[in-house]
Each structure stands twice: as structure tokens, then as C-alpha cells.
Amino acid sequence: MAGGTKRVEQRRLSIKSCPYSVNSCSTSDLPAGPYGSAGAVDMSAIPVCLWADRDFFWRCRVLRRRLFSIHPLSGFSRMNTGILYAALAYVAWGLFPLYFKQVADVPSLEVVMHRTLWSLVVVLALLAVRRQWAWMASVVRQPRVLGAFALSAVLLSGNWLTYVWAVQNHHVVDASLGYFILPLVNVALGFVFLRERPRPGQWLAVAVAAAGVLWLAVQAGRLPWIALVLALTFGFYGLLRKVAVLGALEGLTLETLMLAPVAAVILAWWSWQGQGALVQGDMSTVGWLLLAGPMTAIPLLLFAAGARRIPMSTLGILQYISPSLQFALGVWVYHEAFQPARLVGFVLIWAALLVYSVEGWWTRQRVVVA
């Protein structure tokens, strides 16, 4: 067994020593984290190589064969686990309107405060069970990490507030549009910040989606601000969490730790003034608000864990599980107004997603055949 392990390690291919390199797939293109340590390539690094220089990936047949001969299942196992985590998160988010309609009488800002506070309780309980506290000592000595998570916490809270307000004010369909746009936002963010190189078909999908957003803006006489705010805030949040140095649980804990003091002070002040659901609400309303903790924390943990295991392009494909469910709820359950003229914009965005998905499937088939 030891000899076999040694042989496997010896067969690892260092990118720096690859004779087939075209100076495009270097160790700087392989961030430590989701795809393993920089400098050593295994199956889970294939998506990074592919996006770093797809032409190099197509040409380097020997490299591909050696990659597939090292750990034939480990990379796919990691990818499948990430897909499962992300899909479960998106299903939960797609059904969130059912929950927020139960607290429709509570102001959206107050709902967000409860989500923040009770999410912190849940994640702290999980850390206590796992006795996972050591990371805190090192994080407090890293200002850049704290700054990055402060930014992700602001993005997260802004996304929450916009979404809750939209659901409570009968804009579920508009909220679903934001998450239909999100996969294309992920493509753009991956291109700008992660050096991913979208293929022509992906750029076509982005352009068609942009045309759909423009059509909706012209029809409404204004930009679809709810959709754009939701797509941009969660797109940047996903980007920050993908490159984060902390794991899913630790990262969410740090974010809620930053937000919870503000939420606790505001809720305490409202209660002192005889206002807020904790004072004026019935037991049912209070119970629904307490349930916001696990309902918020669990999907976020699943999403963060999935985002660290799969490329942003795959994350973007899975993402439209959520808006599809939201759209169905808005139109067929809550009977929100949906003018025929708006349908043109949605059809353009759905067509963009179809182009995006088909192009991704075709590309993966070429990789397998080659």
C-alpha cells in the first residue's frame, strides 16, 4: 500500500515542469482552496487549467491522460458533492417565498435582523458541537481577511433586505428575474476577477440576457432595480466566498458575528420602546422568526460548501433552480400580475440560459471525447 501511494505521488505532474506548457497554466493560475495546493495538479484542478488556457488544455493530450490516470474518481467525487450541496441550497432558496409570506406583517428590516441574530445562534451551536474555535485567534490578526468578510457581510445583508422586501410587497416575479440573471453575472465576475475565459457561446448568452434586461427596462420605463440589486449583491458575495480562506461554517460565523451586534441593539431598542414582533407579535409570528436562524444558515452553509468545490460556471448553471421555483410561486401561487409584454424579456433571458447550458454541455462532451 505504501509503495502504491509513493508511486501515485511520483506520478503527480508539476505544472512548472510540464514540457507541454505554453506559459498559460502556471502555479499562479491555481489558487489554493477549492482545487488543492498550487503547483500540484490532480483531477480537481482540471477546471482551472481549462479556463486558464483552453487551447493548451485541448492540445496537451499527454497531460490530460496523466491527470486522468492519477486519481480517476477523486475529482469527480468532489465535483458531485459540490453539485449536490449547491442544488440543495438553491431548492431551499427557491421555496423561501413560502416562508416570508408567513411573516409578511413584520417589517422587512426587522425580519433581516432576526435572520442575522438567530443564524448566529445556529452557527455558534454547530461550532460548539464540533469544538471548532481555533480559527478565531488567527483571523483576528489578519485585517485583510476581516475586511473581506466585512464586505461579504454587507453584501449578504443587502441581498437579504432586498429579497424580503420584494416578497412582502408582491414582487416575487421581479425577485426571480434577479436570480435568472445571476448565472450570467457569475460569468462576467469569473472573467474579471478569476481569469476565467468565457467562450464565444457564453458571451453570446450574456449578450442575449443583457438584451432581455434592456427590454424589461424599456417596458417598465425604469431599470429592473430589484433584479439587478439581487443579482449583483449575491454574485459578488459568491465570488468572495469562493476565494475565501475560511470554510463554509467559519465564514458564515464571522459574517454573522459582524452583523449580529447591530441587529441585537436595534431589536433591543425596539423592544424597549414597546415595538417590534417580540413585543407585539403573537406566538406564531415569534416562532416563525426564530425559525429564520436554521432556515437561513443551512442553505448558506450548503451554498458556501458547494461554491468551494465547483467552478463558478457550474454554479451558474445550477443557480436557476431557485428562480424557476420563485417564478412559479409568484405567477401560479400568489397570482402576481405578469403582462404579456414582459414575457418577451423573460423569454430572452431564458433563451440566454438555454444557450449557456447547451454550450457548456457540448464543451464537456468534447473534453470527455478528447
pLDDT digits (tens, 9 = 90+) for 50-89: 434 444 444 454 444 444 444 444 555 777 788 899 999 9
Residue whose entry in the numeric block shows the C-alpha cell 425580519: 111
When pLDDT is averaged across residues 117-132 and rounded to a whole number, the result is: 92
Q: Residue 38: its pLDDT value, please?
A: 31
Gyration radius of the chain's alpha carbons: 22
320 closest CA partner among 84, 100, 79, 91: 91
C-alpha grid cell, residue 56? 493548451
C-alpha grid cell, residue 184? 450570467
Question: In the beta sheet, which residues pair with residue 229?
Answer: none
When pLDDT is averaged across residues 292-320 and rounded to a whole number, the result is: 81
pLDDT surpasses 70 at 125: yes
Cβ contacts of 64 within 8 Å, gap of 6 or more: 57, 370
- CB-CB contact of 79 with 44 (8 Å): yes
When pLDDT is averaged across residues 315-326 and rounded to a whole number, the result is: 80
Q: What is the C-alpha separation between 46 and 67, in angstroms, rounded?
A: 8
- CB-CB contact of 176 with 323 (8 Å): yes
Taking only the tens place, the pLDDT of each residue in 217-256 is: 888 788 889 999 999 999 999 899 888 888 878 998 999 9
Q: Residue 289: its pLDDT value, please?
A: 95
Lowest mean pLDDT among 166-175, 218-227, 280-289: 218-227
Mean pLDDT taken over the chain? 79
Q: Residue 59: its pLDDT value, please?
A: 45
User: pLDDT higher for 289 or 12?
Assistant: 289
Q: Is residue 2 part of a domain?
A: no
Measured CA to CA in angstroms, residue 227 lies from 27, 134, 243, 316, 338 at distances of: 37, 39, 25, 16, 15
- CB-CB contact of 307 with 78 (8 Å): no
Q: Is residue 159 part of a domain?
A: yes
What DSSP designation does 102 have?
G
Same domain, 281 and 174: yes
Confidence of residue 151 (pLDDT cuts 50, 70, 90): very high
Same domain, 194 and 231: yes
363 closest CA partner among 87, 30, 76, 47: 47
Taking only the tens place, the pLDDT of each residue in 18-54 is: 433 333 333 333 333 333 323 333 333 334 434 344 4
Residue whose entry in the numeric block shows the C-alpha cell 458564515: 252
Same domain, 357 and 252: yes
Domain housing 302: 86-369
Confidence of residue 312 (pLDDT cuts 50, 70, 90): low
Residue 65: φ, ψ to 5° = -65, -40
Q: Is residue 330 part of a domain?
A: yes
Same domain, 208 and 117: yes
Taking only the tens place, the pLDDT of each residue in 331-361 is: 999 999 888 888 898 899 889 888 887 887 7
Same domain, 357 and 216: yes
pLDDT surpasses 80 at 319: no
What DSSP designation does 310 have?
S
User: pLDDT higher for 314 or 267?
Assistant: 267
Number of independent structural domains in the chain: 2
Q: What is the C-alpha separation between 317 and 180, in angstroms, rounded?
A: 10
Same domain, 96 and 39: no
Q: What is the C-alpha separation between 26 and 38, in angstroms, rounded?
A: 9
Q: Residue 309: its pLDDT value, please?
A: 82
Measured CA to CA in angstroms, residue 201 lies from 39, 112, 191, 358 at distances of: 30, 38, 14, 9
Q: 227-245 as b/e, with b when 16 or more CB fall inside 10 Å?
A: bbbbbbbbbbbbbbbbebb
Confidence of residue 10 (pLDDT cuts 50, 70, 90): very low
Q: Residue 7: its pLDDT value, please?
A: 43
Same domain, 211 and 141: yes
Same domain, 52 and 93: no
User: pLDDT higher for 330 or 317?
Assistant: 330
- CB-CB contact of 31 with 308 (8 Å): no
Confidence of residue 97 (pLDDT cuts 50, 70, 90): very high
Sign of the four-CA dihedral 16, 20, 26, 29: negative
Same domain, 164 and 280: yes
pLDDT surpasses 80 at 310: yes
Q: Is 2 exposed, middle or buried (0-12, 13-18, 19+ CB in 10 A)?
A: exposed
Q: Is residue 40 part of a domain?
A: yes
Strand, helix or coil for residue 250: helix
When pLDDT is averaged across residues 205-222 and rounded to a whole number, the result is: 85
Same domain, 65 and 91: no
Q: Which of 50, 72, 94 lies at the terminal end of a domain, its last residue?
A: 72
Q: Residue 322: its pLDDT value, please?
A: 87
- CB-CB contact of 156 with 255 (8 Å): yes
User: pLDDT higher for 3 or 256?
Assistant: 256
Q: Is residue 77 part of a domain?
A: no
